[in-house]
Structure 1
């Protein structure tokens, strides 16, 4: 976690962030590690991954960043004005 004004995924600042439980609360992460995410990145994480996927593997900022779809998204979102609301497109969930 950082100062609360920088997104831990896209690193845009200053920006309002929300707390993202890296392990979803329903999977035992209520008291676990968290990350400060801007609303755009937070929506994208939950559009790309199920809570089960987040709990099983994508439970660190590094693993989230390394996923090819998230990497592509982060490359794009870093260029966006942090003061403008970003409407993310619904991610295509791949069948695993």
Structure 2
């Protein structure tokens, strides 16, 4: 919830949260998920570009499992030194009809 200590950092990349914050459901609402975690918009788009709701439901709140996906691991390495409110277009992955890498 907003104001919690954990809202100071992004659930996926663990960088500080800036002015833009989104709330991600590790288990999608469509799959009966209720819990939310704070996340940068670019990190949120990266998750949904590479995983379907069914995959996210199976993974649950295991952030480390997501981070080990090769495309997400490359993203996390790339984003690590960017400022909190950094934004760039997100490439689509196989989950959203993009090209498998």
- TM-score class normalised by the smaller sequence: 0.7 to 0.9
Q: 2:27 aligns with which of 11, 23, 26?
A: 23
> What is the Cα-based RMSD across aligned positions, in Å?
2.2
Q: Quick check: which one's helix share is greater?
A: 2
Partner of 1:70: 72
Change (3 A) 1:14 1:22: closer
TM-score of the two chains, using structure 2 as the length reference: 0.76
The runs of 4+ residues in structure 1 deviating greater than 4 Å are: none
Q: Check whether the contact 2:17–2:39 (CA below 8 A) recurs between aligned residues.
A: no
For structure 1, list consecutive stretches of 5 or more residues without a partner in the other structure. none
For structure 2, list consecutive stretches of 5 or more residues without a partner in the other structure. none
Partner of 1:54: 56
May I ask how many residue pairs the two structures share in their alignment? Answer: 93
Q: Quick check: which one's strand share is greater?
A: 1
Partner of 1:5: 8
For residues 76 and 70 of structure 1, what CA distance do their matches in structure 2 show? 10
TM-score of the two chains, using structure 1 as the length reference: 0.79
Q: Check whether the contact 1:24–1:54 (CA below 8 A) recurs between aligned residues.
A: yes
